[in-house]
Chain A
Amino acid sequence: MSSDKARGMSFVEVMLTIVVITLGVLPLLTSIGSTGRTVYSMGKHQLAALVARSTLDRLLLLPYEDCRKKCLEMGAEINVTDDAELAELIGTIDFEHRDYDRMTRRIIVKDASSAEEQELMFVIEVVVSWPVPNSDEKRDFSFKTIKYENRI
């Protein structure tokens, strides 16, 4: 009779089972968090592309020298909603600021290697970044184009 009783689960075994199950479930919970972050990032991607394309369109419209000057002026990283021209548009509708929450934009100007080419063209890169929630990570999206001097 005594040996039959020993076949039952002891408290330690029960606790071990719980610990093992918990350890098995934890990675699943982590993967859900990661899925959430990916979904959030996916949602921002299209908006970031729209911001980058719009900014490039605006800059490419300017004459060569003005374009270069404007790119350098606008170079520093700012919140997308702080851009004066976009802010003006934001005021026209019932705008959801959470859509552009902490999304930033910066403009990089890259010169050609030779002095001769530098007078004729330069590269404009618009980088739009947004933070991933509950993490220090940041996602980037960038568009590059070449601004040619009209003489070409």
Chain B
Amino acid sequence: MKTASDNRTRAFTLVEIMVGFCIVMLIYTSFSRIFRGSGHQIEKGFKMLELQTLLDEVEHNLREDVRCLRKVELSTESDPTRFSFQMYDENKIVRIEYEFVAARNVLLRKELSEGAAQTREIGPGNIENCVFSAKIQDGRFERLDLALKIKVDSNVETAARDLTAVAHFTSRCAEPYRPWLAAP
């Protein structure tokens, strides 16, 4: 038959509780650190993906349009935030204008050809800066240079929040640049 004294010996001692508590804390600290680190990496990955998608959207639109550029209508010398040109779209010629609106952090793509202008917003709220520079040599469009800064909102300190990129775009259909012949 067991006595009360025997039962007491089976309970945890203070030292055992302290050791157990320390072990649990060690495990908890390690795991919380791991999960926090993973959380940051996931957040960073998401933000990077957002930045990449934005960059891809801007690049894809410009590359597709400038590939079919026929002639430049408005050079970028006076206003590097605007670039206006004519391009071939299947069998017709359309007028396209890209404009960076700093107040709204957006890049606008305006199709000015038929009837009312069709405007599409690219990266609304995310384009921090955008500079166009059209290189025209001997009256012929050579290429469009672009310097771009995009940003995304993030609450995590380590997450990537902005990205700068520079690029060149060339045309396969360029004709000589004659601004005096450009449509108004």
Contacts and interface: CB of A to CB of B under 8 A. Distances in A.
A15 to B, nearest CB: 10
Contact of A17 (B23, B48, B49, B162): B23
Interface in B43-97: 44-45, 48-49, 51-52, 55-56, 59, 63, 80
A117 to B, nearest CB: 24
A49 to B, nearest CB: 9
A4 B9 contact: yes
Contact of A47 (B16, B129, B165): B165
A93 B149 contact: yes
A7 B148 CA distance: 69
Contacts, number: 114
Contacts of A54: 166-169
A102 to B, nearest CB: 16
Contact of B19 (A9, A39, A43): A9
B151 to A, nearest CB: 10
Nearest to B170: A57
Given A32-B34, A42-B45, A93 B164 contact: yes
Nearest to A55: B168
Contact of B9 (A5, A17, A90): A5
Interface stretch (A21-29, A69-77, A126-134, A144-152): A21-29
A50 B165 contact: yes
A42 B37 CA distance: 18
A9 B16 contact: yes
Contact of B34 (A8, A29, A42): A29
Interface of A: 1, 4-5, 7-9, 14, 17-18, 21-22, 25, 28-29, 32, 35-36, 39, 42-43, 45-47, 50, 53-55, 57-58, 60-61, 85-86, 88-90, 92-96, 99
